[in-house]
């Protein structure tokens, strides 16, 4: 019997995502000037206020207040009427030096023996149901909000939009886990004041269905466009008025959108957030590495759906174990345990090896902090960072290295396909 599965996303203007972006912008600045920096940075945002806290080991001093304001300005909180804007909000920093007790378990004289920054388990997931090997409901939710953000910035389009928004997509799947149709779509977007609430709701619904949805559909291949049907139900700002939003409407914290950041509820999650952590923290780096493995496995034809788990002990380089689940979709004559053994021989999952393989000691993290860390475009970009003494540096960095399909041939060779 067909079943329904739902995933959600939130925009860059959502309070929790503001916090994630500020934390990751601070990470990037530390790594830009000192690639060996160890950073754990948490951010809280509320009405007119940003609070930073965390631990740092670095040889560079940063103006974290300026970095926070630049992020808030880029997102679009630039008006006093939002009750949270880049020029007038307070920024309080309680960042201090990292504990030497933690650091001694990570740093080693031989880099390859670098220990894991914490214990825990991390998961990576991939599925063949979309071109970027992501679950369809989450992929569509991200696309809706990224396009809504584009519309907000286009002066000739939907001019009343404010930065905070959420989307949710429910997909109907067949018994064999194939997407059959889009059952429903929810979009809630912050907006300017309207004179009349009924006219407001009608206008927002008209614009979302008439402008946003066609622009998202145009990005999709034909077989996915067909999943939008006359029976798809749209809930647009279902609670009505949504003028008060952002940090004035709801306090934001780093790391509260870990399912949005990963697979929308598909696969599994080890519980550790990503943003605000340098790559010595395996919560982040190993989650990227397991996604890299899972995506390359599906692309190589090992299975249509793959979950990979890795686990660590703090201060220990070698993982506790590697687990693979193909959900019965394996196309090779091996059980999941045998598949895991072969994958373990192909990928060095020690923390230092992950950092080197995926180029994680570069300032690449602010881009991850909204619209998901997985399923994104791998590309090389130039980024500029300003130091407190006004000596800017420009760096070419490669974003989303864990999305590269650079191990497909190696996997196929290992499995004889």
Average pLDDT for 20-26: 98
Q: Can you give the pLDDT at residue 157?
A: 80
Q: Can you say which residues are annotated as belonging to the binding site for Mg(2+)?
A: 16
Q: What is the pLDDT of residues 102-134, one digit of tens each?
A: 555 565 566 767 888 788 999 999 999 999 999
Residue 11 backbone dihedrals phi, psi, to 5 degrees: -80, 175
> What is the structure's pLDDT at 105?
53
Q: Is the pLDDT of residue 164 over 60?
A: yes
pLDDT greater than 90 at residue 227:
yes
Annotated binding-site members for ATP: 14, 164-166, 241-242, 250, 256-257, 273, 277
- In this prediction, residue 104 carries a pLDDT of 52
Which amino acids are annotated as binding site, given as ranges?
A: 14, 16, 42, 55, 98, 164-166, 241-242, 250, 256-257, 273, 277, 281
Closest CA relative to residue 166, chosen from 239, 85, 107, 93 = 239
Identify whether the C-beta of residue 236 lies closer than 8 Å to the C-beta of residue 187: yes
Q: What residue numbers does the annotated binding site for K(+) cover?
A: 42
Q: What is the mean pLDDT of residues 231-256?
A: 96
Q: What average pLDDT does range 320-332 have in this prediction?
A: 97
pLDDT tens across 68-77, in order? 999 999 999 9
Average pLDDT, integer, range 314-342: 96
pLDDT of residue 66: 96
Task: Work out the average pLDDT over 6-15.
Answer: 98
> Is it the case that residue 305 has pLDDT exceeding 90?
yes
**Three-state secondary structure readout of the chain:** CCEEEEEEEECCCCHHHHHHHHHHHHHHHHHHHCCCCEEEEEEEEECCEEEEEEEEECCCCCCHHHHHHHHHHHHCCCCHHHCCCCCCCEEEEEEEECCHHHHCCCCCCCHHHCCECCCEEEEEEEECCCCCCCCHHHHHHHHHHHHHHHHHHCCCCCCCEEEEEEEEEEEEECCCCCEEEEEEEEEEEEECCCCCHHHHHHHHHHHHHHHHHHHHHCCCCHHHHCCCCCCCEEEECCCCCCCCCHHHHCCEECCCCHHHHCCCCCCCCCCCCCCCECCCCHHHHHHHHHHHHHHHHHHCCCECEEEEEEEECECCCCCCEEEEECCCCECCCCCHHHHHHHHHHHCCCCHHHHHHHCCCCCCCCHHHHCCCCCCCCCEEEEEEECCCCCCCEEEEEEECHHHCCCCHHHHHHHHCC
405 pLDDT more than 90: yes
pTM of the model: 0.96
For residue 115, the model assigns a pLDDT of: 81
What's the rounded Cα separation, in Å, for the pair 88 and 93? 16
Distance, CA of 354 to CA of 286 (rounded, Å)? 7
Q: Which residue has the higher pLDDT, 415 or 107?
A: 415
**What pLDDT digit, counting tens, does each position of 45-87 carry?**
999 999 999 999 999 999 999 999 999 999 999 999 999 999 9
Res 117: pLDDT: 77
**Residues annotated in the binding site for L-methionine, as ranges?**
55, 98, 250, 281
> What is the per-residue pLDDT for 371?
98
pLDDT of residue 258: 98
Domains in the chain: ranges and CATH: 3-8+136-245 (3.30.300.10), 120-127+282-415 (3.30.300.10)
pLDDT, one tens digit per residue, over 212-226 is: 999 999 999 999 999
Pick the closest to residue 126 from 2, 293, 273 (CA basis): 293
Give the model's pLDDT for residue 4.
98
Q: Using DSSP, state whether 289 is helix, strand or coil.
A: helix
pLDDT digits (tens, 9 = 90+) for 337-353: 999 999 999 999 999 99
pLDDT for the residue 197: 84
Across the range 164-178, mean pLDDT stands at: 97
């Amino acid at each position: 019997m067909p079943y329904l599965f739902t995933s959600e996303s939130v925009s860059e203007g959502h309070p929790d995502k503001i916090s994630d972006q500020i934390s990751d912008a601070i990470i990037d600045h530390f790594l830009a000037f000192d690639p060996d920096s160890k950073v754990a940075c948490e951010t809280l945002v509320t009405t007119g206020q940003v609070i930073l806290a965390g631990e740092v080991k670095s040889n560079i001093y940063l103006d974290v207040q300026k970095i926070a304001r630049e992020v808030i300005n880029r997102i679009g909180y630039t008006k006093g009427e939002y009750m949270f804007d880049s020029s007038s909000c307070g920024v309080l920093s309680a960042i201090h030096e990292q504990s030497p007790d933690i650091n001694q378990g990570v740093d080693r004289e031989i880099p390859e023996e670098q220990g894991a920054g914490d214990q825990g388990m991390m998961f990576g997931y991939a599925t063949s149901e979309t071109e970027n090997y992501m679950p369809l409901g989450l992929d569509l939710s991200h696309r809706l909000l990224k396009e809504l953000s584009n519309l907000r910035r286009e002066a000739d389009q939907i001019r009343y939009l404010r930065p905070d928004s959420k989307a949710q997509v429910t997909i109907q799947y067949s018994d064999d886990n194939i997407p059959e149709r889009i059952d429903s779509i929810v979009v809630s977007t912050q907006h300017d004041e309207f004179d009349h609430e009924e006219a407001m709701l009608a206008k927002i619904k008209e614009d979302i269905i008439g402008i946003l949805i066609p622009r998202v559909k145009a990005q999709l291949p034909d077989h996915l466009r067909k999943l939008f049907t006359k029976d798809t139900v749209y809930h647009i700002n279902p609670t009505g008025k949504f003028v008060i939003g952002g940090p004035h409407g709801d306090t934001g914290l780093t790391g509260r959108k870990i399912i949005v950041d990963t697979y929308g509820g598909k696969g599994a999650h080890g519980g550790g957030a990503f943003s605000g952590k340098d790559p010595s923290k395996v919560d982040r780096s190993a989650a990227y590495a397991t996604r890299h493995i899972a995506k390359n496995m599906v692309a190589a034809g090992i299975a249509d759906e793959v979950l990979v788990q890795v686990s660590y002990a703090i201060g220990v380089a070698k993982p506790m174990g590697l687990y693979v689940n193909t959900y019965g979709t394996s196309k090779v004559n091996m059980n999941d345990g045998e598949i895991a053994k072969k994958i373990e021989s192909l990928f060095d999952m020690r923390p230092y090896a992950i950092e080197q393989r995926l180029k994680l000691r570069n300032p690449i993290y602010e881009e991850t902090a909204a619209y998901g860390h997985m399923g994104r475009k791998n590309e090389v970009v130039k980024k500029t960072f300003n130091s407190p003494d006004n000596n800017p540096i420009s760096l070419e960095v490669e974003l989303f290295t864990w999305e590269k399909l650079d191990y497909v041939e190696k996997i196929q060779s290992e499995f004889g396909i």
